[in-house]
Amino acid sequence: VNITIIDREGVSHEVQAPTDMAMNVMEVVRGYELAPEGTIGICGGMAMCASCQCYVISENVELPEMQDDEEAMLSEAFNVKENSRLGCQINITEDLEGLVVELAPES
* Sheet strands (E) in the chain: 2-6, 12-16, 53-56, 84-86, 100-103
> How many of the chain's residues bind ligand FES (CB under 6 A)?
15
Show the site string, 75-94: x = touches ligand FES by CB under 6 A, - = not. Answer: -----------x-x------
The smaller minimum CB distance to ligand FES, of residues 35 and 73, is found at: 73
Show the site string, 40-69: x = touches ligand FES by CB under 6 A, - = not. Answer: -xxx-xxxxxxxx-----------------
Minimum CB separation from ligand FES for residue 70, in Å?
A: 8
Minimum CB separation from ligand FES for residue 43, in Å?
A: 3
The smaller minimum CB distance to ligand FES, of residues 15 and 48, is found at: 48
Backbone angles phi and psi of 88, in degrees to 5: -75, -10
Strands 100-103 and 2-6: parallel
- DSSP letters spanning 27-88: HHHHHTT-S-TTSS-TTSSSSSS-TTEEEE--SS---PPPPHHHHHHHHHSSS--TTEEEGG
Q: What residue ranges bind ligand FES (CB under 6 A)?
A: 26, 41-43, 45-52, 73, 86, 88
